[in-house]
């Protein structure tokens, strides 16, 4: 956990890609889940943030 936070602070690719991946996966689940309309409403914003973040952080150093 400490290594993960350290990686985030030092702008390392691994931890930031993990955050972006979680956001994308969460957004897709929110888009397609049958339980809450509010989750569907916010799904696109979450997926978009994750995707943009992924594109940016994939240029961070290892």
Partner 1 sequence: MTDTPADRLARATPPAIARRVRGLGDRAIAWIFVAPTIFLLLAINIFPLIWTVRLSFTNFAANRPGREVEWVGLRNYERILTDERIWANMQTTAHFLFWTLFFQVVIGFALAWLINRRFRGNDLATTLIVLPMMLSPAVVGNFWTFLYQPQIGLINYTVELFTGIPASSFSMLGPGGLAKWSIIIVDTWMWTPFVMLICLAGLRSIPDYIYEAAEIDRASKWRQFWTLTVPMVLPFLMLAVLFRGIENFKMFDMVVLLTGGGPGNETLLASIDLKREAFEKWRTGYSSAYAIILFVTVFGLASIYVKALNRVRER
What are the residues binding partner 1 (CB under 8 A)?
17, 20-21, 24-25, 27-28, 31-34, 37, 40-44, 47-48, 50-51, 54-55
Structure tokens belonging to residue 10: 């030092």
Looking at the Cβ atoms of 11 and 48, the one nearer to partner 1 is: 48
Looking at the Cβ atoms of 8 and 28, the one nearer to partner 1 is: 28
What 3-state DSSP class applies to 10?
Answer: coil
Distance between CA atoms of 29 and 21, rounded to whole angstroms? 12
State the minimum distance, in angstroms, from the CB of residue 54 to partner 1.
5
Distance between CA atoms of 23 and 33, rounded to whole angstroms? 15
């Amino acid at each position: 956990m400490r290594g993960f936070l350290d990686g985030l602070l030092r702008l390392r690719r691994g931890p930031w890609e993990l955050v972006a991946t979680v956001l994308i996966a969460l957004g897709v689940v929110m888009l397609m889940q049958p339980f809450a309309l509010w989750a569907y409403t916010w799904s696109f914003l979450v997926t978009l943030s994750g995707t943009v973040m992924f594109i940016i952080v994939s240029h961070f150093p290892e």
